[in-house]
Amino acid sequence: MLDVACGTGEWLLACKELGAFTNGVDLSERAISACKTSLGEGEYFSMPAEVLPFEDARFDVVTCLGSLEHFIDPVKALKEMVRVAKTDAIFLLLVPNADFLTRRLGLFGGTYQTDAKEEVRPLF
């Protein structure tokens, strides 16, 4: 499996404990260092998601949790995720939804990362 924007690897560790062979990419060199220390085997790279360092059709599972909305070019990143995924791969993407009830009621305006970049889109 591949986790894009994996951070320090908590999600990868949970997947590894269930038997997955894990790999990750994150912008933070410090986060990738933590992944290498805690996860051991697998490939972990500090780089943007828009240019993944893996060969075509490699992964059975590709995840990106709570990060796609912060990427400089989310469409390019998605194309890269599709490129490195097998044709029957499972994708798990977690992104904020503009129609999310708490947002519509004005109770949620975004995360602390909103100042940096956070695009929230409708489902359609």
Average pLDDT over residues 73-91: 97
Band (43; pLDDT cuts 50, 70, 90): very high
- pLDDT confidence of residue 121: 58
pTM across the whole model: 0.82
pLDDT at 28: 95
Tell me how far CA of residue 95 lies from CA of 27, 82, 92, 117, 122, in angstroms.
18, 17, 10, 13, 11
* Distance spanning both ends of the chain, measured CA to CA: 28
Are 62 and 81 in contact by the 8 Å Cβ rule? The answer is yes
pLDDT at 66 over 60: yes
pLDDT tops 70 at residue 64: yes
- The pLDDT-based confidence of 120 (bands split at 50, 70, 90) is low
* pLDDT recorded at residue 99: 62
